Amino acid sequence: MTLHIDSTIQVKEQLKREKRNNYLTALSTSVLSVLLGASILYTIAIVVARPETPQLMAYVSPENNAPPNEPSPPVISRELAPSSSPQTQVAIPTIIAQTPSPISLPVLDIDMPEEPAMLEDGTLDGFGDFGSGLGDGTSAFGGTKAVGSTLEGTFYDTKQTPGGRSTGMNQKQYNEFLVSFIKSGWNPTTLNKYYKAPQKLFNAQFYIPRCPADDAPKAYNCDDRVKASFWVAIYRGKVKAPKTGTFRFVGAGDDYLAVRFNNETVLDYGWESAAMGKMYANNQNMRDAMMNKEGHEGLKKELREAGVMIPPVTFYKYSTSGHWNNCLGGVAAGKEIKVQAGKVYPIEILISEGPGGEFGTCLLLEEVGLPPLEKDSTGSPILPLFRTNNGVPKPDKSKEYVPFDKIGPVWESVK
């Protein structure tokens, strides 16, 4: 048996209303979707992509500098050079203003730093950070911070043990100590029996005009327990050759200056010889032997055996360094060294004072075969300093000094 249930009139009306509402909702949604899509397309095509009209500004020269009246040049079209891929060539018009409008340029007020000056106490005035990680040069003996491109300096007093007991050091013993140190390959353990200053200094160039010898222990903050005699400071590090070539160190020390480069002592010249234990100052026979003049065969043999200042040695005198000219014959050139650009080499620089009094040193660098940009009135070349950063001192020209070329290669230190 089948059961039929007829819908009531109310149910049928309810179904009609719901059907009508669903139809209106679908129609409204479709219309709104079309309007929204049209709005998006309008925004992209008209508002966002609308090209701006370029504006042209021109400079008006004063009337007295105005160009002569000439016919306006024609507009010239230039075609782009053809590329390797097939593209449409575009003509770019060259626009020339017909009616220029005036403009004004601001005046720039820039404070330029002054050149640093060498003060009487041996420090450099006005030296700060040179940027690019190349450090600074805040003292003639070095700065107290290990920043930038510098060599690390250690100060020793050979007159006392690490505990402060006297070693009884005298000039003869000091000469023997330095000769032994050089022959040992600059072995740092040979210095362990002497007092070492806790303070390290970090230096980038070695240019110290004559100053009191006690300026060194003052710089290393140990002058309260170190007298100004028989002290030695050694600067160590590694440097990167700025170019390929042949170089030689040039300089002098009062009392001692020695340089060890790539594990070989290549310069030893000053009031005394660190490698030989002999006095250079006021010793014309020694200088004649160094210059390979006739005679002095015994001294020449000693020089060759020491293996550093091998005859013939070149000397440079300068019109502004009379003291060193008279006593040392000027500054001396060391052995030639060959380097490759970018290669890293170990370097050690020894400066020292013997009996006390005054101290001074100057370390230059000469590229063999490269003519100097300038010469002194004596005919000697004016050479650049050996340096590991961009800093250069300003010598006090009221006193004796060795001139140098401010432009030269920088041998950046490598940690």
Task: For 100-109, write each residue's pLDDT tens digit.
Answer: 455 454 444 4
pLDDT over threshold 90, residue 319: yes
Alpha carbons 194 and 256: distance in angstroms, whole number = 18
- In 262-370, which ranges are E strands? 264-268, 315-316, 331-333, 337-339, 344-353, 358-367
pLDDT over threshold 80, residue 34: no
Task: For 5-14, write each residue's pLDDT tens digit.
Answer: 445 566 566 7
pTM tops 0.85? no
Count the Cβ atoms, other than its own, within 10 Å of residue 120. Answer: 11
pLDDT over threshold 80, residue 261: yes
pLDDT grade, residue 163 (50/70/90)?
very high
pLDDT over threshold 60, residue 96: no
Arithmetic mean of pLDDT, 214-230: 96
pLDDT of res. 190? 94
Task: For 53-66, write each residue's pLDDT tens digit.
Answer: 545 454 444 444 44
Higher pLDDT, 114 or 297: 297
pLDDT over threshold 60, residue 43: yes
Arithmetic mean of pLDDT, 292-303: 95
pLDDT of res. 240? 98
pLDDT over threshold 90, residue 251: yes
Arithmetic mean of pLDDT, 385-412: 92
pLDDT over threshold 50, residue 79: no
Cβ(232)–Cβ(351) below 8 Å: yes
Arithmetic mean of pLDDT, 366-389: 96
pLDDT of res. 178? 97
For residue 312, whether the previous peptide bond is cis, meaning omega lies within 30 degrees of 0, is yes
Higher pLDDT, 47 or 151: 151
pLDDT of res. 57? 52
Alpha carbons 93 and 56: distance in angstroms, whole number = 14
Cβ(314)–Cβ(230) below 8 Å: no
Asked whether the CA dihedral 385, 387, 389, 395 is positive or negative, the reply is: negative
Task: For 103-159, write each residue's pLDDT tens digit.
Answer: 454 444 444 434 444 333 333 333 322 222 333 345 699 999 988 899 999 999 999
How does the average pLDDT of the chain come out, rounded? 81
Phi, psi of 63 (to 5 degrees): -60, -35
Residue 34 CB burial class (10 angstroms; 0-12, 13-18, ≥19): exposed
Which of 135, 85, 190 shows the shortest CA–CA distance to 410?
135
Higher pLDDT, 46 or 263: 263
Cβ(159)–Cβ(167) below 8 Å: yes
pLDDT of res. 91? 45
pLDDT of res. 44? 67
pLDDT grade, residue 398 (50/70/90)?
confident
Higher pLDDT, 234 or 129: 234
pLDDT of res. 53? 53
Arithmetic mean of pLDDT, 360-389: 96
Cβ(295)–Cβ(375) below 8 Å: no
pLDDT of res. 30? 73
